[in-house]
């Protein structure tokens, strides 16, 4: 009990310290916010005994067979909390293929059909009115027995904003209370599941699962738009109507700190357009390391709530605004160790950005599109940057210590400015990379990728930073302190430099439609680096890297951590990049020409992909259509598994050399495990004939379908001496191959 009350005290402190304006409306909102966290023991409540009450909430159906509802925590004379003690049934269908796969990965089932003995509900819809219309309610107080039952079942532990949620559940609930919609906010915890319906989120339906008993956080297992919208098809699931779109961001920062990467004084303007029918509550996000001082709307203080550990900021506008209206916000903040310096919204659509940096005299800062530094007649200089292109995420790099640049021209004449920091060259680091080695790798990667992809978008010169940072057109990161010997078998400095340089094409300027496309940004630069390694060294380093990634993926799958690539931010970045790299590798060999043993179509695909991703908003569907364009046929089965599905197939192959009518064949049988019965994928096979060398092998492609498939390769003019199933490791799989 003491711990519970202590949590309430901390909650109040956090909210008070984070509030901006102090209008009567905000004061009431804060009081209601605190009420949502009141201790339930002996709390006034309404009690209703129910029998066979069915409640449908979007795709979720709850049958309360026999038991008692306790309604508590009243706001505006309506309860916001319900405890149900009794028997019941939860039935939830997942009509989306990719989200059903996500649920299977996490909860080992494609649908929910659970009996429960109690559940905890937070709501702002008409649940209480529907129940009280059928079953009389009595005034009472919550007893110790009922309270203890709810606590033992963990009750509302996953609702409380003490865990880093994407949004503040308390804010979202009160927002829905104020809007007084029958189809309002609904959150329920039953068994190991948590179901949330939030009408104000871009995707309203969220089903989460307690992956391991006693977890302090839940794993989001399925996220969908509501039934009314009904967008469930894999190829359309990125069609999300975000409530707002950011169209412009402008920042003025005074930089400081020992490393020059601290915002001492920050001001940022963000301009939004409303996409929903109306809006009085707006969600903004700012890296939680950056602590806001105040927020203005249309040059006046605005009400808002923010917690210290959340990126989320809930803004309460003075009045309703409507579809097509423009909203202007100004935020003042400061801090360090931030991932992004600018505020943002859920919608990842790229926006125009502009910066003014006031920096200590003698320091060096690098931003895409920056001007010459201007002396401010003191200890500071002014740096301005206004890139021509929009950005989704924007990063800059700064150094307090002095820096020199060595300029090298690329093959197509773009200046490559290699930054040299005095402190790096002065000290004897254990893993110091000689400047020449760094330069050769960086310039080599840039020239190779220019040959394959064309000039990087909007980069007329490129600064190459030797310290950790994020890459985008005009700013690359190629370290000068790196233990490359540990990576030598995988590509060494060529791999590291290639990854940093590839962000010139696929970095912060990409324009994904949703976070479901994040896998591409996480994997493409690393895959392009592998192509450079293969070119600069040989194929052994390329395949060593692939094998290492496949080993990691197989371990992840064994632990039950796998998810479809198209689940977006729910997939850990390391998993997304490993799976994404293998998808791109497999796509490369889908476009492999067995006759010429080359992949020209694949490089043309990458060229057009670079243009697509940097010039317009793109979705997974756009990626699939572009791949099919260069492959020359539909790739429905391929992407259904590798982009929207999960698991790695196991191929058990038996083959034999057969002679028929004076000619020779390779006959085989493949039994496929660990994937569903709809799985099908083309596999490259190689046959080496007697009297020939491996260079004169015959390459063929056969589609292998689960659960069992046969193939017959040939006829061949001479007897085969060697057969290779899955040549070039054209499919990520576990292969057991033997000759009969």
Percent of the chain with pLDDT over 70: 95
Question: How far is it, in rounded angstroms, from Cα 624 to Cα 565?
Answer: 13
| DSSP 8-state class, residue 628 | H
Q: Quick one: three-class SS letters along 21-41?
A: CCCHHHHHHHHHHHHCCCCCC
Q: Please give the backbone phi and psi of residue 355, each rounded to the nearest 5 degrees, phi first.
A: -135, 145
The whole-number average pLDDT for the span 232-251 is 97
The 3-state DSSP class for residue 11 equals helix
Rounded CA separation 480/248 (Å): 35
Q: What local confidence, expressed as pLDDT, does residue 426 receive?
A: 61
Q: Quick check: helix, strand or coil at residue 227? A: coil
Domain with CATH 2.60.40.1840 in the chain: 650-739
Q: For 22-70, how does the pLDDT look when each residue is reduced to its tens digit (9 = 90+)? A: 789 999 999 999 999 888 888 899 999 999 999 999 999 999 999 999 9
> Which of these, 562, 565, 546, lies nearest to 554 by C-alpha position?
562
- In this prediction, residue 398 carries a pLDDT of 84
Q: For the chain, how far is it from start to end, CA to CA, in angstroms? A: 70
> For residues 696 and 693, what is the distance between their CA atoms, to the nearest angstrom?
5
Residue 11 pLDDT more than 70?
no
Give the pLDDT of residue 214.
59
Q: What are the residue ranges of CATH 2.60.40.1730 in the chain?
A: 242-400
- The token pair at 132 is 């009280």
| pLDDT score for 18 | 40
Task: Place 2 in a pLDDT band, splitting at 50, 70 and 90.
Answer: very low
What residues contact residue 569 under an 8 Å CB cut-off, 6+ apart? Answer: 515, 518
What's the number of CA atoms in the CB half-sphere (13 Å) around residue 480? 19
Query: Smallest Cα–Cα separation from 642: which of 614, 589, 681?
Result: 681
Query: Tokens in use for 686?
Result: 């190689």
Res 261 pLDDT > 60: yes
Predicted confidence band of residue 21 (pLDDT cuts 50, 70, 90): very low
Of 248, 228, 226, 316, the residue nearest 279 (C-alpha)? 316
pLDDT in tens, 318-340: 999 999 999 999 999 999 988 88
Average pLDDT of span 631-655: 97
Calpha distance 686→97 (Å, rounded): 34
Q: What is the pLDDT of residues 442-500, one digit of tens each?
A: 999 999 999 999 999 878 899 998 887 777 888 899 998 888 887 888 999 999 999 99
According to CATH, the topology of domain 242-400 is: Immunoglobulin-like (2.60.40)
Segment (H or E) for 614: helix 600-615
Q: What is the mean pLDDT of the chain?
A: 91
Burial class (CB in 10 A: 0-12, 13-18, 19+), 739: exposed
- Residue 638 is classified by DSSP as H
Measured CA to CA, the distance from residue 737 to residue 654 in angstroms comes to 6
Residue 656 has pLDDT above 90, yes or no: yes
Output phi, psi for 242, to 5 deg.
-70, 145
Give the closest residue to 133 by CA, choosing from 69, 228, 88: 69
* Cα distance between residue 34 and residue 723, in whole Å: 70
DSSP tag of 432: B
The percent of residues in the chain predicted with pLDDT above 90, rounded, is 72
Sheet with 720-725, strands from edge to edge, namely 698-705, 680-689, 720-725
Per-residue pLDDT band for 153 (boundaries 50, 70, 90) equals low
Query: Given a cut of 50, is residue 125 above it in pLDDT?
Result: yes
Q: Are 343 and 284 in contact (CB under 8 A)?
A: yes
Return the CATH class of domain 650-739: mainly beta
Contacts 24+ apart (CB under 8 A), 107-116: 107/192, 107/193, 107/209, 107/221, 108/560, 112/60, 112/193, 112/207, 113/89, 114/89, 114/90, 114/190, 114/191, 114/193, 115/87, 115/88, 115/89, 115/90, 116/87, 116/88, 116/89, 116/90, 116/190, 116/191
Q: Model pTM?
A: 0.93
722 pLDDT above the threshold of 60? yes
Span 684-696, mean pLDDT? 86
More confident call, 96 vs 392? 96
The length of the chain, given as a count of residues: 740
In angstroms, rounded to a whole number, what is the distance separating the alpha carbons of residues 591 and 499? Answer: 23
Task: Determine contact, residues 295/229, Cβ cutoff 8 Å.
Answer: no
């Amino acid at each position: 009990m003491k711990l519970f009350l202590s949590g309430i005290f901390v909650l109040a402190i956090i909210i008070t310290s984070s509030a901006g304006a102090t209008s009567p409306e905000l004061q009431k909102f804060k009081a209601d916010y605190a009420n949502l966290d009141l201790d339930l023991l002996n709390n006034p409540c309404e009690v209703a005994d129910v029998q066979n009450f069915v409640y449908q909430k979007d795709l979720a159906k709850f049958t309360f067979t026999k038991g008692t509802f306790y309604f508590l925590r009243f706001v505006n004379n309506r309860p916001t909390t319900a405890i149900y003690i009794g028997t019941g049934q939860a039935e939830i269908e997942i009509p989306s293929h990719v989200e059903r796969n996500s649920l299977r990965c996490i909860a080992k089932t494609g649908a929910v059909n659970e009996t429960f003995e109690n559940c905890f509900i937070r709501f702002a819809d008409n649940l209480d009115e529907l129940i009280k219309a059928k079953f009389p309610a009595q005034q009472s107080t919550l007893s110790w027995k009922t309270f203890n039952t709810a606590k033992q079942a963990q009750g509302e532990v996953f609702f409380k904003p003490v865990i880093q949620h994407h949004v503040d559940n308390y804010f979202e609930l009160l927002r829905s209370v104020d809007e007084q919609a029958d189809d309002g906010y609904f959150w329920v915890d039953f068994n190991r599941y948590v179901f949330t319906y939030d009408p104000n989120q871009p995707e309203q339906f969220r089903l989460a699962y307690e992956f391991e008993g006693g977890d302090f956080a839940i794993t989001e297992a399925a996220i969908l738009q509501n039934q009314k919208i009904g967008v469930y098809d894999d190829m359309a699931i990125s069609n999300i109507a975000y409530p707002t779109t950011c169209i412009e961001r402008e920042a003025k920062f005074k930089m400081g700190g020992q490393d020059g990467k601290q915002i001492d004084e920050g001001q940022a303007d963000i301009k939004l357009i409303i996409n929903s029918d109306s809006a009085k509550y707006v969600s903004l996000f700012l890296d939680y390391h950056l602590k806001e001082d105040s927020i203005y709307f249309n040059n006046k203080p605005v009400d808002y709530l923010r917690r210290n550990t959340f990126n989320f900021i809930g803004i309460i506008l003075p009045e309703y605004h409507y579809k097509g209206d423009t909203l202007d916000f100004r935020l003042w903040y400061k801090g360090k160790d931030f991932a992004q310096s600018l505020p943002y919204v859920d919608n990842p659509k790229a926006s125009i950005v502009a910066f003014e940096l006031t920096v200590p005299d003698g320091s060096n800062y690098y931003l895409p599109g920056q001007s010459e530094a201007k002396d401010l007649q003191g200890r500071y200089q002014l740096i301005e940057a206004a890139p021509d292109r929009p950005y989704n995420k924007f990063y800059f790099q700064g150094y307090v210590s002095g820096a020199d640049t060595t300029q090298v021209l690329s093959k197509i004449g773009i200046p490559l400015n290699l930054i040299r920091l005095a402190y790096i060259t002065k000290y004897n680091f254990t893993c110091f990379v000689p400047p020449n080695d760094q330069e050769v790798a960086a310039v080599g990667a840039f020239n190779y990728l220019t040959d394959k992809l064309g000039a990087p978008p909007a980069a007329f010169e490129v600064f190459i930073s030797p310290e950790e940072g994020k890459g985008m057109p005009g700013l690359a990161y190629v370290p000068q302190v790196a233990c490359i010997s540990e990576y030598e078998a995988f590509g060494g400095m060529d791999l590291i430099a290639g990854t940093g340089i590839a962000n010139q094409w696929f970095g912060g300027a990409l324009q994904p439609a949703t976070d479901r496309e994040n896998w591409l940004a996480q994997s493409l630069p690393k895959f392009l680096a592998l192509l450079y390694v293969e070119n600069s060294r040989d194929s052994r380093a390329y395949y060593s890297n692939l094998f290492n990634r496949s080993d990691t993926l197989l371990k992840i799958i064994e632990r039950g951590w796998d998810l479809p690539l198209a689940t977006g931010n729910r997939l850990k970045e390391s998993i997304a990049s490993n799976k994404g790299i293998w998808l791109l590798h497999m796509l490369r060999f889908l476009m492999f020409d067995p006759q010429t043993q080359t992949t020209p179509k694949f490089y043309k695909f990458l060229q057009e992909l670079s243009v697509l991703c940097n010039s317009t908003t793109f979705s997974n569907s756009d990626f699939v259509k572009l791949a099919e364009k260069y492959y020359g046929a539909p790739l429905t089965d391929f992407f259904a598994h590798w982009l929207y599905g999960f698991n790695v197939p196991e191929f058990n192959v038996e083959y034999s050399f057969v002679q028929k009518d004076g000619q020779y064949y390779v006959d085989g049988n493949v039994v496929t495990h660990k994937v569903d019965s709809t799985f099908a994928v083309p596999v490259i096979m190689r046959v080496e004939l007697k009297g020939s060398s491996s260079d004169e092998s015959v390459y063929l492609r056969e589609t292998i379908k689960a659960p069992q498939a046969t193939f017959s390769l040939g006829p061949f003019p001479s007897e085969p001496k060697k057969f290779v199933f899955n040549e070039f490791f054209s499919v990520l799989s576990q292969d057991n191959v033997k000759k009969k």
